A and B are shown apart, each in its own frame.
Chain A
Amino acid sequence: MSKIHIPTPLRQYAGKQPAVEVTAATVGEALSGLVSKHPDLRRHLYTDDGKLRAFVNVYLNDEDVRYLQKEATTLKDSDSISIIPSIAGGR
């Protein structure tokens, strides 16, 4: 099982849970499993054409999956996935 950590704003769409456990072989499968369990999360994570939103960062342990094999990145048991919306701004 891999654990997906849900950021505070999205927990209301994930049964108010801080983390969701899924059985998956890849990061993509884990995210698909997550939105299957909690369909209300989909529009917050994906665009209408099914792409992960640009401001949604997905980390496998401490690595950005964009710099691994993206959604094809394979998972080991006890891996930890974090969904982290970006933080930026300025005057």
Chain B
Amino acid sequence: MLKINHKEYEALRLHGEETYPHECCGVLLGQMNEDGRVVTSIARCGNTRTDSPQNRYHIDPRELVRIQREGRERGEDIVGFYHSHPDHPALWSQTDLAEAHWLGCSYVITSVEKGKAEVTNSFELGGSDESDKQFADEKIELV
């Protein structure tokens, strides 16, 4: 399960509207616990895939290093990521799975139809390593 407050939830959806028709991307920070992940803040990131931003995203690892460090200073860990699918369902793609490497983290996807954020879903990346990783639907609880 992914617990996230309304403010951060709306902020990540709004991000997808702002970058439409390009994909947005960002980081979910908070805590991992036995029930799943609790998001206490989000960090917007730039999409470095300027060659194909309408259907691909990539976060500069240097930006991730900074976000991880700043989160650590606030007592937060990286617990997941979010991105948008412009004019495409909020379901993970084979590209999303192939490029996902943070096992045990949440991957949140928002469909943005004609510039308006519609469905937001979350998927937990499960498995023990690259050979058996898979996405599983997970509930988003707004708190």
Residues of A within 8 A of B (CB): 5, 7-9, 12, 18, 43-44, 53, 55-57, 59, 62, 64, 82, 84-91
- Main secondary structure, interface of B, reads mixed
User: A-B pairs with CB below 8 Å: how many?
Assistant: 97
Per a CB cutoff under 8 Å, which of A8, A87, A90 touches B104? A8
Query: B22-49: which residues lie under 8 A (CB-CB) from chain A?
Result: 23, 25, 27, 32, 49
Chain A residue numbers with a CB within 8 Å of B93 are: 89-91
Chain A residue numbers with a CB within 8 Å of B69 are: 5, 82
Residue of A nearest to B81 (CB): A87
**CA A84 – CA B86 in complex, angstroms?**
27
Residue of A nearest to B58 (CB): A88
Per a CB cutoff under 8 Å, which of B59, B68, B88, B130 touches A82? B68
Chain B residue numbers with a CB within 8 Å of A56 are: 101
Central interface residue in B83, B101, B104, by most chain A CB within 10 Å: B101
Per a CB cutoff under 8 Å, which of B25, B64, B81, B98 touches A84? B64
Bitwise interface map of B from 77 to 97 toward A, beta carbon under 8 Å scored 1, else 0? 111010101101000110110
Q: Are B103 and A87 in contact (CB under 8 A)?
A: no
**CA A78 – CA B46 in complex, angstroms?**
30
Number of chain B residues whose Cβ lies closer than 8 Å to a Cβ of chain A: 42
**CA A62 – CA B129 in complex, angstroms?**
27
Q: Are A90 and B95 in contact (CB under 8 A)?
A: yes
Per a CB cutoff under 8 Å, which of B49, B65, B100 touches A59? B65
Per a CB cutoff under 8 Å, which of B23, B61, B64 touches A90? B23
Q: Are B57 and A57 in contact (CB under 8 A)?
A: no
Q: Are B78 and A88 in contact (CB under 8 A)?
A: no
Could you tell me the distance in whole angstroms from the C-beta of B63 to the nearest C-beta in chain A? Answer: 9
Given A9-B102, A43-B129, A59-B65, check contact A88 B59 (CB 8 Å). Answer: yes
Chain A residue numbers with a CB within 8 Å of B62 are: 59, 62, 64
Could you tell me the distance in whole angstroms from the C-beta of A63 to the nearest C-beta in chain B? Answer: 8
In the complex, whether B55 has a CB less than 8 A from a CB of chain A is yes
**CA A88 – CA B104 in complex, angstroms?**
16
